[in-house]
Amino acid sequence: GAVVSQHPSWVICKSGTSVKIECRSLDFQATTMFWYRQFPKQSLMLMATSNEGSKATYEQGVEKDKFLINHASLTLSTLTVTSAHPEDSSFYICSASPTGVDQPQHFGDGTRLSIL
């Protein structure tokens, strides 16, 4: 149980394009999901907390207008990278956990974003 699915796994697009990444909890409901960014050989850095039915909470230094987050249902959160540029190229990963005490975060398989 506790499977998190992320789509697409890899996307290559031209500079200026907007890219949407989906994160789904397949067998549980998640009121909160998290979006991370990871550069090569580095740890995961939290970008934002996605809250079902309300606005996302962004970490310091993350542009909310650049990284749009929508959490319209208890099983789906989306991250849209707007007007992407080469410096936005990275590995983006989402996570979620079932509600309840002592429920760990489970991660999606990540999305490799390459902006040409």
Partner 1 sequence: GQQLNQSPQSMFIQEGEDVSMNCTSSSIFNTWLWYKQDPGEGPVLLIALYKAGELTSNGRLTAQFGITRKDSFLNISASIPSDVGIYFCAGQKFGSARQLTFGSGTQLTVLP
Binding stretches for partner 1 (CB under 8 A): 4, 6, 32, 34, 41-46, 49, 57, 59-60, 91, 93, 95, 97, 102, 104-110, 112
Nearer to partner 1, 24 or 110 (CB): 110
> Facing residues of 93 across strands?
36
Tell the smallest beta-carbon distance from residue 57 to partner 1 (Å). Answer: 8
**Is the CB of 66 or the CB of 106 nearer to partner 1?**
106
The CB-of-81 to partner 1 minimum distance in angstroms stands at 18
Q: Check if the beta carbon of residue 4 is closer than 8 Å to that of residue 24.
A: yes
Q: How far apart (Å, rounded) are the C-alpha atoms in residues 25 and 98?
A: 9
Q: Are 69 and 62 in contact (CB under 8 A)?
A: no
Q: How far is CA 48 from CA 55, 82, 104, in A?
A: 10, 15, 18
Of 89 and 107, the one with the shorter C-beta distance to partner 1 is 107
Q: Cβ of residue 15: shortest distance to partner 1, in angstroms?
A: 23
User: CB 7 → partner 1: shortest distance, Å?
Assistant: 12
d(CA 11, CA 59): 24
Encoding tokens for residue 64? 């909310």
**Closer CB to partner 1, residue 16 or residue 97?**
97
